[in-house]
Structure formats: structure tokens, C-alpha cells
Amino acid sequence: MLLAMRIRGLLTSFVFRKTLTLSNACRQTFSMGQIVNTMSIDCSRFQEAIPFLYVMISSPIQISLSLYLLYQQLGASAFAGLVLLLLFLPVNGILMGKIKMYQAQQMKSKDIRIKLMNEILNGIKVIKLYAWEESLQKKINEIRNKEISLLRKAAYVTSISTFLSTITPFMVTFVTFATYTLSSTSHPLTAQKAFVSLSLFNILRAPIELVPLFMSQTMQLTVAMKRLNICLNSPDLSSDYVKYVTRSDFAIAVKDGTFSWNVENEDSFILKE
């Protein structure tokens, strides 16, 4: 958690410094809303996801040990539960892909909404003067309703994933015991085998329930990393444009300066020399 907090602080600092040196062309594509979201929400995803990294290491070990001990208790019947467990994994993968898609769309809507709110607050005098409050309020509500719709869809998918992860241990237990007892008449389900197996299944339940949560955090982190990557790799203002001289006769001096609104577009208005 301490590492996650440090990474978040580091990334926030990086994004803040990057916004001060963005080129004019990038400033047209990066809205204030997008910058605020990148600094606050996308950087926070690292703080939320990194503490779950231990699940990636501990879950396979716990699952492997539990299945090995179950094999010693129930023989090959333990693999029937493993097959069911493996069948649930691609379903969870599809659900996590949906969550990732909704997350990306929701962040785009949030960028637009914060940009609009920033413009409204900056021009509040004009808005009040022309009585544009209702039309702008309607526009913000439309964007917000779209956000809520995406959040609701993501919540539905998350609840399905949570439901599947909750019933998986019970289904695995049921299938394993059913296979063990029905595979042969010489396989009585004694109290010793039943209680030891149930204890192992309980150990197996914790990592299975944590895996979907880890996958959800990973999907959110992937979206955040993509957005941060675009921001931090955007072109900067050239350092050659400004020269710092400690002693000079002038406070500001421009010599043979060429000024353009957009360097990439040659047809844009340019002041030469």
C-alpha cells in the first residue's frame, strides 16, 4: 500500500509537470477535464490495483496446493471440480472485457463533462447575463445520464461476475463429491473424507473469490495506463525556443522569432522574423 501511494504521488507529479510543457497542438486535443481526470482518477487506479498484485502470486499457489491435497483425499474425482473451475475462467474473461469497455467509455464522458463544467465556471457571468443556465444544465445532465448508464451496465456485469465467483466453490464441491460417490461403489463418502475435503474447499474458495476482483482492478488499471501513456508521451514545447541568460540588458528579448498557432499545420497563421 505504501508503494502504491508513492507511485500515485509520483505519477500525479509527472502529469502536472507534463501539462506545463505541452505543445500548443496538444493543448487543443487535451481538454482541462481530461487533464484533471488523468491527474486524479487515472493515477488513483494504481493505488487501488497494486495492493491486489499479491493475488496474482498467492492464488495459483493456494489453488495448486488445495487441489493436490484434494487429489490425495478423493483421487481423480478432484479433477472434475478443476474442469468446472476452468470452464468459469473464460466466462469471467469475457465479463472483464465488457467492464473494460464500459470503463473506457465512461472516462471519455467524464472528460467531456468536466471540460464543460470548467467552461461554464469560467464564463459564468456571460451565462447568467444571457440566462443560458437551463440549456447548459440540460446538456450536463445528458452527459451525466450517459455516464450513469455506463456505470449501471458495468455494475450489472460486475454483479454477474461476483455471483459466478460466489457459486463456483459450491458447484466445484458438489461436482467433486458427486463424481467421487457415483464413479464407484467402493467410494463411500465418510465423515473424515467429507470434512477434510470441505476444509480444503474452503481454502480454495478465498483465492477463487479474489481472482475476479483482481481481474476487475487490472482492467481498470489497463485503461488508466493507456490514458497516462497518451498524456506522458505527447510532444512538448521545444527547449530551444527559450534561452535563459542570467545577465542581460533586457528583461525579455526575442530575436528572429517565428510564431505559429499550430506547428504541424503549415497553412495556419504564422508571424515570421
For residue 54, pLDDT beyond 90: no
d(CA 263, CA 33): 24
For residue 9, pLDDT beyond 90: yes
pLDDT, tens digit, 9 for 90 and up, residues 131-146: 898 999 999 999 999 9
Cβ atoms of residues 199 and 208 within 8 Å: no
Question: How far does Cα 51 stand from its chain's mean position?
Answer: 14
Give mean pLDDT, residues 200-222.
79
Give mean pLDDT, residues 238-265.
74
**Alpha helices by DSSP H, 22-77:** 24-29, 32-37, 43-49, 53-74
Which range is most confident: 13-17, 104-108, 232-236? Answer: 13-17
What integer pLDDT is reported at residue 265 of this predicted model?
A: 67
For residue 163, pLDDT beyond 90: no
What integer pLDDT is reported at residue 63 of this predicted model?
A: 83
For residue 25, pLDDT beyond 80: no
pLDDT, tens digit, 9 for 90 and up, residues 66-97: 888 888 888 888 888 778 877 877 787 788 78
For residue 267, pLDDT beyond 70: no
The grid cell for 22 is: 505541452
d(CA 215, CA 185): 41
d(CA 167, CA 184): 27
Give mean pLDDT, residues 228-252.
78
What integer pLDDT is reported at residue 91 of this predicted model?
A: 82
pTM exceeding 0.75 = no
Residue 259: φ, ψ to 5° = -120, 135
Cβ atoms of residues 107 and 227 within 8 Å: yes
For residue 152, pLDDT beyond 90: yes
What integer pLDDT is reported at residue 53 of this predicted model?
A: 82
| Sign of the torsion formed by the C-alpha atoms of 201, 202, 203 and 207 | positive
- Structural domain 1-233, CATH architecture: Up-down Bundle (1.20)
What integer pLDDT is reported at residue 193 of this predicted model?
A: 83
Which run of H or of E encompasses 259? strand 259-260
What integer pLDDT is reported at residue 264 of this predicted model?
A: 66
For residue 213, pLDDT beyond 80: no
DSSP bridge pairs for 236: 22
What integer pLDDT is reported at residue 231 of this predicted model?
A: 86
Question: How far does Cα 189 stand from its chain's mean position?
Answer: 45
For residue 263, pLDDT beyond 70: no
